[in-house]
Structures are given as structure tokens and as C-alpha cells.
């Protein structure tokens, strides 16, 4: 089954997730499309400013410094020196497995969809992708498009589910791999995995745990789709809850529950 990966350009956790997926299925992967880290319809700068307001200067500058350092490491180690022994970006992981990369492209464009057809792509895997996948793209992909979302759908659709599960005092979190349809985080669920949340959990710990579990769920999903007609679980809109960018009041509630950012 020939497939394509859509993935966010995030350097902290996603290189490890992609490495696990390509280690298992790299021979069938026709390419990786790297998408912006911008949240929703925001620009990259707008996303950064919203996160600064939300997190405060301390955590934001810590995260930003780590982001910049990862980018520098990727540029020197992976791009200039050409080493993929340690991959600091999803682009470097793709290079390790000999998979072609496209960046900053509209995946719904006629040209991109034509390229997918020419390569015989039957299935698309979105790992924290940030673009909307339109009807034409969905209809030309015979095995479907699946997305990995960091929550137990149908609850916690939308942005930043790890934050919201902690802020709302949930006792468990999880990941869901679901088919993509015309609505956000709405399609039938193929695989769902759970983990326990504790009062002492910080946001960084939960995001790391979520991404580790995501890799397992994605691999299981691909095996099921390859086998044909996977059984699915309902993702009922009537039971859904939708969340957007948190506010400072939401952050105060998060901290009042005893949680830390790191």
C-alpha cells in the first residue's frame, strides 16, 4: 500500500514518531509533506504571540530557546554535515529512510494532488498536520486519509488537547487515529489508546507521553488499513467537545489544579 505522510514541522517529539513509522513502513512511503507549526488560521508569528500571552515569558522563552537550538542542530548536523545518526527534524528522519520531502505546499492544490496520483498514493497519514484536507483530496485517496489526534475523541476536538485535559481535571488522556471527513476531528475512529493522568503531571510530560502512544496507535492503524476494511468506532458529534486556544483564565485554572508547564 503506497502512502504519503503529512506532518507538522515540530522538532521536539515528532521526529521520534516519524522515525518509528518509517522504520516499520518506510519502503511503502512515497513522501513526507512538512506543514507549518502555526495553530489553526493563525500565522506563525500570531501563534507565537498567543502562546507568549498564554504561557508567560518564563516558559515561552525556555521553549523558544529549545526550538531555536533544535533548528541550529538540525541545520548543522543534518543539513550541512549530512548526518542522520541523530535526527533533529522530521526532514532529517525522512532523509534517513530515503523518503522524498515537500515543504510549505498546499496539499489541496491541483499540482500536489496530481503528483500524488502519479505516484499511486492510496493512503495518507496525517501526524499533527495543520492543513485542512479538502473533498477532492479525500476522494482521490482510495484507502482514505487518517489523522492522529492527541485526545480521546469525540471529546477534546480542536487545539491543544493535552493542555485541556489537564486544565479540566481529567483522570485519563489518550490518542485517537481517525478517518478524515469534512469536519475537524470528526471521522470514524480506527485506533484509540489511553493513559492515566496524575495530579503531579506537567504539560511537557503529558505531551511526551501522548506522542509516544501516538506512534504505537499510528502503526497499529496502518496495519489495519493494509489488511483491508478496518473496523471503526463511532466518533459521535453529539458527545463531542471542542476547544480552541486557551486564555490566561484557563491557564490559572490549569495551575490551580496543581499542574506545571514543565
CATH number at residue 147: 3.40.50.170
Angle at 150 between CA 146 and CA 151, to 5 degrees: 105
On whether residue 103 sits in a domain, the answer given is: yes
Average pLDDT over residues 214-233: 96
Average pLDDT, the chain: 95
Nearest residue to 167 (alpha-carbon basis) of 145, 199, 142, 144: 199
Task: State the cell numbers at 50.
Answer: 498567543
Res. 147: pLDDT tops 80: yes
Report helix angle 14-25 to 203-227, nearest 10. Answer: 20
b (16+ CB within 10 A) / e for 45-57: eebbebbeebbee
pLDDT score at 75 = 96
Task: State the cell numbers at 252.
Answer: 490559572
Task: State the cell numbers at 203.
Answer: 504539560
Q: DSSP 3-state assignment of 177?
A: strand
Q: DSSP 3-state assignment of 39?
A: coil
**18-28: per-residue pLDDT in tens?**
999 999 999 99
On whether residue 262 sits in a domain, the answer given is: no
DSSP for 234-250 reads ---GGG--EE-S--HHH
Average pLDDT over residues 99-116: 95
On whether residue 251 sits in a domain, the answer given is: yes
Residue 66 pairs in a beta bridge with: none
Range of the domain at 120: 3-256
Res. 168: pLDDT tops 70: yes
Nearest residue to 89 (alpha-carbon basis) of 192, 10, 167, 170: 10
pLDDT band at 246 (very low <50, low <70, confident <90, very high): very high
On whether residue 38 sits in a domain, the answer given is: yes
CB 42 within 8 A of CB 244: no
Res. 39: pLDDT tops 70: no
pLDDT score at 58 = 95
Give how far Cα 252 sits from Cα of 25, 54, 184, Å: 43, 10, 27
Res. 44: pLDDT tops 90: no
Number of domains comprising the chain: 1
The structure's pTM equals 0.93
Average pLDDT over residues 176-202: 95
pLDDT score at 43 = 80
On whether residue 113 sits in a domain, the answer given is: yes
Res. 38: pLDDT tops 80: no
Q: Is the dihedral of CA 24, 178, 91, 15 positive or negative?
A: negative
On whether residue 33 sits in a domain, the answer given is: yes
pLDDT score at 142 = 97
On whether residue 75 sits in a domain, the answer given is: yes
Q: DSSP 3-state assignment of 105?
A: coil
On whether residue 261 sits in a domain, the answer given is: no
- What length does the chain have? 262
Task: State the cell numbers at 167.
Answer: 486544565
Res. 197: pLDDT tops 90: yes
pLDDT band at 236 (very low <50, low <70, confident <90, very high): very high
**73-87: per-residue pLDDT in tens?**
999 999 999 999 999
Amino acid at each position: 500500500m503506497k502512502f504519503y505522510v503529512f506532518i507538522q514541522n515540530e522538532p521536539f517529539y515528532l521526529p521520534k514518531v516519524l522515525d518509528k513509522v518509517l522504520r516499520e513502513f518506510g519502503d511503502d512511503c512515497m513522501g513526507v509533506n512538512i506543514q507549518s507549526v502555526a495553530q489553526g488560521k493563525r500565522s506563525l508569528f500570531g501563534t507565537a504571540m498567543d502562546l507568549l500571552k498564554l504561557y508567560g515569558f518564563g516558559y515561552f522563552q525556555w521553549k523558544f530557546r529549545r526550538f531555536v537550538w533544535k533548528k541550529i542542530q538540525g541545520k548543522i548536523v543534518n543539513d550541512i554535515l549530512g548526518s542522520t545518526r541523530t535526527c533533529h527534524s522530521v526532514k532529517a528522519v525522512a532523509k534517513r529512510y530515503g523518503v522524498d520531502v515537500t515543504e510549505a505546499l498546499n496539499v489541496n492544490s491541483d499540482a500536489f494532488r496530481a503528483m500524488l496520483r502519479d505516484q499511486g498514493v492510496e493512503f495518507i497519514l496525517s501526524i499533527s498536520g495543520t492543513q485542512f484536507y479538502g473533498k477532492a483530496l479525500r476522494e482521490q485517496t482510495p484507502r482514505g486519509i487518517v489523522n492522529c489526534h492527541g485526545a480521546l475523541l469525540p471529546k477534546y476536538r480542536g487545539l491543544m488537547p493535552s493542555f485541556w485535559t489537564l486544565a479540566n481535571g481529567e483522570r485519563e488522556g489518550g490518542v485517537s487515529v481517525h478517518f478524515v471527513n469534512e469536519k475537524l476531528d470528526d471521522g470514524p475512529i480506527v485506533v484509540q489508546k489511553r493513559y492515566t493522568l496524575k495530579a503531579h503531571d506537567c504539560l511537557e510530560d503529558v505531551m511526551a507521553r501522548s506522542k509516544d502512544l501516538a506512534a504505537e496507535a499510528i502503526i497499529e492503524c496502518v496495519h489495519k488499513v493494509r489488511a483491508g476494511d478496518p473496523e471503526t468506532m463511532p466518533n459521535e458529534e453529539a458527545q463531542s467537545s471542542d476547544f480552541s486556544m486557551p486564555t490566561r483564565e484557563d491557564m490559572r485554572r490549569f495551575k490551580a489544579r496543581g499542574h506545571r508547564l514543565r
